[in-house]
Amino acid sequence: MAQTVFNPAPTPTIPVGGQAAFPVHRIFCVGRNYAAHAAEMGHAVDREAPFYFCKSAHDLLLSGHDMPYPPRTQDLHHEMELVVAIGASAQNIAVVDALDVVFGYACGLDMTRRDLQAASKDKRRPWDTGKDFENAAIIAPITPAADMGALETQVIELTVNGAVRQTAQLRDMVWSVAEIIADLSTLYTLQPGDVIMTGTPAGVAAVVAGDVLRGTVGALTPVETTIV
Contact residues for Mn ion (CB under 5 A)?
79, 110, 200
Shortest Cβ distance from residue 119 to Mn ion (Å)? 17
Shortest Cβ distance from residue 96 to Mn ion (Å)? 26
Buried b / exposed e over 41-76, threshold 16 CB at 10 Å, is beeeeeeeebebbbbbbebbbbbeeebebbeebeeb
CA nearest neighbour of 106 among 139, 70, 80, 57: 139
Shortest Cβ distance from residue 114 to Mn ion (Å)? 11
**Shorter beta-carbon distance to Mn ion: residue 159 or 200:** 200
CA nearest neighbour of 195 among 158, 140, 146: 140
Shortest Cβ distance from residue 221 to Mn ion (Å)? 20
**Shorter beta-carbon distance to Mn ion: residue 137 or 151:** 137
Q: Distance between CA 174 and CA 180 in Å, rounded?
A: 10
Strand order in the sheet with 155-160: 163-169, 155-160, 212-217, 223-226
Angle (CA) 43-185-35 rounded to 5° is 20
